[in-house]
Structure 1
Amino acid sequence: MSRPKPSPSRRLSQEAPATAVRSGVSRPAMWRVMEIHKIIRAGRFPNCSTLAAEIEVTPKTVQRDISFMRDQLGMPLKYHALKHGYFYTQEVHEFPMLQLSRNDLVALFLARHALEPLRGTRLERMLTESFSKIAEACPGEVSIAWHELDEAFSVKASGVLPADVTLFGDLLDAVRACREVNFDYHKLTGSKPEQRTVHPYHVGQIEHGWYLFAYDPARRAVRTFALQRITNLSMLKTKFVRETGFNARDHLGGGFGVWSYDGDERRKHEVHVRFEGYAARVVAERQWHPTQAIRKLKADGSVIEFQADLSGLEEITRWVLSWGSKAKVLGPPELMRRVAEEVDGMKVENHPARH
């Protein structure tokens, strides 16, 4: 019988100096067990001595590994008296330690779909290479019928637009290399894009969108930029020193979403909102903010009070309005005023009937 082609890890051991075994260099237990498994599965009837020579450890170590495989992992191992070697009494298709749980399968499925919006970009290639390295480091083989999972689960593609992904690679390089970037940015309230030169600190996903957190020297503050509103990005040769201790979560400062607040706007607001009906149940089921607290005003949960400590009111105003008549602001007065002004602005003025 021809000798099986050595695995990459085996080839590495063959290239090691001949003194490696004699000097007491140990082999990782998981690596040893998987090598023994592959040799026995090949039908070569190895014994402790031949296995020890094959994987470059002592026969006593092999004997302990064989006992572990048989007694702890439940492998169908048996010693053949005539052929003087070990064999499997039944076909072993999967190594026990590699069996995937339902949670593992769902995690793999979600990871697969997470890469879909990045297809064809440099970031997708980088992530694919990383997954490949992880797969190569895992012993054994795993195959998944993706179409079966597609029939059982679905994932709504959101958060990454085609316009976003073209920026990921360059921004990632700039963040890691501490290099300034220049781009045109169209603010929500602006009539046209304006040029910005910033120090990129962090790229993160918040509320289904991707954002760049960067220090803007012209404004002497860290600003948040939506990737879909960035155009004409270029990485400059100028390097910068990253602010020590910067944290994206701290930068958001307790806001309700991606907005960051400075000066007077950053003061704390204790928000109280009353929800009823379906809105009460949906709001109570989710985590909207780290400081939130839910208090039932009716035992059945049909009426609740939502409370949170926020650093600004811009986004909470829009959130309250999204629930319509199912939400009533209890405080602070400033939030009540903002919501009332928005509701008044939404009213359609009466026009003379057209003839």
Structure 2
Amino acid sequence: MSVEPRSTRAEVLALLRQGKALTLADMIEHLPIDSKRQVRRHLKTLREAGLSIQEEARGREKVFSLPLGELAVEDAPVSLTEQQALALVVAAEAGRAALAPTPLAEPLAAGFGKLLDRLDRASGTYDLGRLREQWHFGTEPAASTFDGDAFDTLVKALNERRPVRIAYDPAHASDAPRKRTISPLMMAAPGGSWRCVAYCHYREAPRDFTLSRIEDITLLTNDVAIRPDDFDADLYFHERFGALGGETRVVRLLVEPDAARYFREKSYHSSQVVEEARDDGRLVVSFEVEGLEDMTSWVQSWGLSVKVLDPPELAERIAEDARRVAVRYEDASEDDATPDADRPDA
């Protein structure tokens, strides 16, 4: 759209493009405007010119903002070394693969195209346009599809430090309500499965929320998000099964009474849920994990105190490992039956 660059209307547009949600009073404070009626007139004209000005209630007032796709970053010159420019090109290609299923894929392609044109003309060492085509970070389909509006709302919540209200369909049985409030902490996509790590107000702890399972989402504009002081993203992802990513699987375990108290007292994974407490003291515990490699060794470390109920392939893998160990120890007597005469001198 075209707006006279030095007009008051252009100043309204520039203020909105800074990405803030503003009341009429806010705009009067920052602009050469004397009344709310004047602000409304400018907003109406901008809308008629094709600008998607959003309007929502915040307490007793209305706030106005632009959607992410219409915000602008202007007058941001930067000086880069040749290696920094090359690293930025490679990072953009990696980002293109990672962001393919998200609403950020198209803006990345368009925005980086503009940046690459400038970088390529300024670089005296690298042919950045050609080098861009010589990096490949995978074109595998996303592990799951999800609503782009949910993604945008979570990003907005992170930016404004707001909680959200979601309707969530967990992959396994859960005692948590379907609708709950969460405070987003970060976005992640291990193994191509996009999720939001958020402080769950019901669990009172950080949890993973797979984007494809979010059925409805509302930004709580009047509330402030909760961020635990001790939350460490690197530690959160390091101390979990499948930290390197993989297909998301639901694992169900039968825990014997001698180990049940440990599962009641401690959460071994952010998705841990005690699905059933049986009269005989045993528990059925479930996890939602990426890949089964780490889970295999962890279950084996519990010995006879834990048995895999699902998935069948994990149960069979552990049973096969146990059979191999048994065979190995059955042959142990033969390995140790070396005559003394054949032993080397000490």
TM-score, structure 1 as length reference? 0.42
Select the structure with the greater relative contact order (CA < 8 A; seq sep ≥ 6): 2
Larger radius of gyration between Structure 1 and Structure 2 = 1
TM-score, structure 2 as length reference? 0.43
